[in-house]
């Protein structure tokens, strides 16, 4: 392997992985592999990614916490411009860490990537003035299959950092993200 450093079981949650690539830099700039099937397979990420997505958001945008219900996706996410705080919440029914969350700062500067397997809700908040977020997924987007959890559900307790100079009231969320229910409602509805 050698080209990537992988941190497993983030916050004790099996399956989550933070990946740090080897960056080769000189006076011209830098080069790094953002994905190499062999290295990722050796690190326990043996997936077939079928779609790449990219979004751009301004400071204070919070997207999440999202998942697909019947067509779950593994995700490999990274930031190519700016900085975000990225979060995954464990929704795997048989998991000892069900309802636990983990967050990591991803930025163009630190070049970290975050692997989130199927069975997790996912979201991020933009900390920089502007951010471009890229992610590879293992299933296609199905618009009628969207699920979500309320980003500030006290039962989950995600500790979202506020962008400098902003408060919770200044955040920008989609209409859907403002009204998702919490994890207790999610558990009740899946029975």
For 4-38, what is each residue's pLDDT tens digit? 999 998 889 999 999 999 889 899 998 988 999 99
**What's the domain count of the chain?**
1
pTM listed for this prediction = 0.94
Quickly list H helices, the chain.
37-42, 175-179, 183-190
**Which residues, listed in sequence order, are joined to residue 79 by a DSSP beta bridge?**
133
> With DSSP H G I counted as helix, E B as strand and the rest as coil, what are the percentages for the chain, rounded to 5?
15, 40, 45
Residues of the chain with pLDDT > 90, as a percent, come to 88
DSSP characters over 129-182:
SEEEEEEEESS---GGGEEE--TT-TTT---PPPPTT--GGG-B--HHHHH---
Task: Tell whether the torsion through CA atoms of 128, 99, 50 and 76 is positive or negative.
Answer: positive
Q: Which two tokens stand for residue 74?
A: 């593994």
**Which residues, listed in sequence order, are joined to residue 21 by a DSSP beta bridge?**
4
Q: Which two tokens stand for residue 21?
A: 């690539």
As a whole number, mean pLDDT of residues 62-88 equals 97
Domain encompassing residue 54: 4-190
Report d(CA 85, CA 103) in Å as an integer. Answer: 7
Report d(CA 60, CA 130) in Å as an integer. Answer: 9
Buried-exposed string 8-26: b where 16+ CB fall within 10 A, e elsewhere: eebeebebbbbbebeeeee
Q: Looking up tokens 């990420």, which residue turns up?
A: 45
For all residues of the chain together, what is the average pLDDT? Answer: 94
Catalytic residues: 66, 135
The pLDDT value recorded for residue 143 is 86
The pLDDT value recorded for residue 45 is 94
Per residue in 117-174, pLDDT (tens digit) is 999 999 999 999 999 999 999 999 998 999 999 999 999 999 999 999 999 999 999 9
CATH number at residue 125: 2.60.120.10
pLDDT band at 1 (very low <50, low <70, confident <90, very high): very low
């Amino acid at each position: 392997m050698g080209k990537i450093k992988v941190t497993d079981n983030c916050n004790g949650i099996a399956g989550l992985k933070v990946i740090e690539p080897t960056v080769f830099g000189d006076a011209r700039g830098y080069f790094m592999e953002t994905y190499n099937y062999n290295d990722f397979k050796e690190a326990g990420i043996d997936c077939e990614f079928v779609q790449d997505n990219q979004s751009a958001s301004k400071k204070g945008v919070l997207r999440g916490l999202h998942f697909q219900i019947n067509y779950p996706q593994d995700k490999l996410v990274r930031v190519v411009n700016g900085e975000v705080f990225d979060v995954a919440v464990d929704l795997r029914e048989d998991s000892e860490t069900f309802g636990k969350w983990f967050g990591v700062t991803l930025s163009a500067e630190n070049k970290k990537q975050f692997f989130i397997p199927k069975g997790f809700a996912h979201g991020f908040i933009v900390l920089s003035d502007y951010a471009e977020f890229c992610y590879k997924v293992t299933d296609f987007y199905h618009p009628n299959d969207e699920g979500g959890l309320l980003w500030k559900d006290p039962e989950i307790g995600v500790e979202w950092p506020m962008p400098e100079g902003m408060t919770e009231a200044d955040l920008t969320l989609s209409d859907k993200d403002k009204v998702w229910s919490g994890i207790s409602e999610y558990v009740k509805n899946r029975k």
